[in-house]
Structure 1
Amino acid sequence: MDKSIDEAVADLGRDIGEYIRQQRNTAKISLRQLAKLAGVSNPYLSQIERGLRKPSAEILQQIAKGLRISAEALYVEAGILEQREGGALADAIVTAPDLTERQKQVLLDVYESFRRENTAGGAGNQTTAKADTTAGPAGGPTAHQNKPEE
């Protein structure tokens, strides 16, 4: 039984390491650059990426800062936190490397408000929410987006 627990922990280490490597490659950052940005040694980061070491929450936070992604996304991947209720869309927002933390939070807040509205109001409000977020002709802005602010 202990062996299966050890194997599960090792799998988590490989999973988080692979996820960090994918995020690093997406951000076009070298291993050496990320190690410097995160304040960890190059060999240690390499061991994390290869699944040989399982980083602490503090190290994950430093790596997330270096990657300019949410530490929460790394915590979920590492099994420290459970996946947030918003599912894949919320995860995509949280891990988007080209958004600031403030932009991510605003998007998550708007998304959650739509979800609450649709849950509380029933099916009638779902149609309204969809109409407001659908792209206009040829992917252009919607009529909702063209309205001047009041």
Structure 2
Amino acid sequence: MSDADPFPMSMGELIRRQRELAAVPMRQFASMVGISGPYLSQIENGLRAPSEQVLRNIAEHLGVPVSDLVDERTEDDTDSEEAMRDLIKADPNLTAAQRRALTEVYVAMVTTTRVQRAATG
């Protein structure tokens, strides 16, 4: 994750984050979904787009709706996330490493909250 793009919200990144939050190793998750490890790696790295069926299998095994894996943030979501990123970047009391770490924690929390909200309706 670079300082220039601390909010990578591609489908692959969302899939990777949800898999990591579920604490499932890549090879194990690929096997659960019925695809190869290299194919899952390519999806997570944005090199390949999954077919509709593979995307449905991924969502099912992550326990999230397919729509949660597709970046459907509203303008308000984007504005608030941008504001938080700007605050983190502007804090003179943080080192570059601390900024990156804080941003990663923030993104993980926001993603987790979205998934929990979607799961509860």
TM-score after normalising by structure 1: 0.44
Equivalent position of 1:36 in the other structure:
31
- Deviation per CA, 1:44-73, whole angstroms, max 9, x where unpaired? 001111111011222111111121222221
Q: Relative contact order, CA 8 A, sep 6+: which one is greater?
A: 2
Equivalent position of 1:95 in the other structure:
115
Structure 2 Cα separation of the partners of residues 62 and 28 of structure 1: 17
Structure 2 Cα separation of the partners of residues 67 and 57 of structure 1: 15
Contact 1:15 1:51 in 2 (8 A): yes
Structure 2 Cα separation of the partners of residues 17 and 43 of structure 1: 13
> Which residue of 5, 16, 20 corresponds with 2:15?
20
My pick for the range that moved more, 35-44 or 63-72, is 63-72
Query: Letter of the aligned partner of 2:47 in structure 1?
Result: L
CA RMSD after TM alignment: 2.8
User: What are the ranges of 5 or more consecutive residues in structure 1 without an aligned counterpart?
Assistant: 1-13, 109-150
Query: Letter of the aligned partner of 1:95 in structure 2?
Result: V
Query: Letter of the aligned partner of 1:47 in structure 2?
Result: Q
Cα 1:18–1:93 change in 2 (3 A) is closer
> Which residue of 57, 61, 65 corresponds with 2:60?
65
**CA displacement at 1:92 relative to structure 2:** 6.0
Query: Letter of the aligned partner of 1:62 in structure 2?
Result: N
Contact 1:34 1:67 in 2 (8 A): no
Report the secondary structure of 1:28's partner residue: coil
Percent of matched pairs sharing the same residue: 40
More helix by share: 1
User: What are the ranges of 5 or more consecutive residues in structure 2 without an aligned counterpart?
Assistant: 1-8, 78-110
**CA displacement at 1:23 relative to structure 2:** 0.6
Alignment length, in residue pairs? 79
- Deviation per CA, 1:14-45, whole angstroms, max 9, x where unpaired? 81111111111100000011101111111100
TM-score after normalising by structure 2: 0.53
> Which residue of 47, 50, 71 corresponds with 1:52?
47
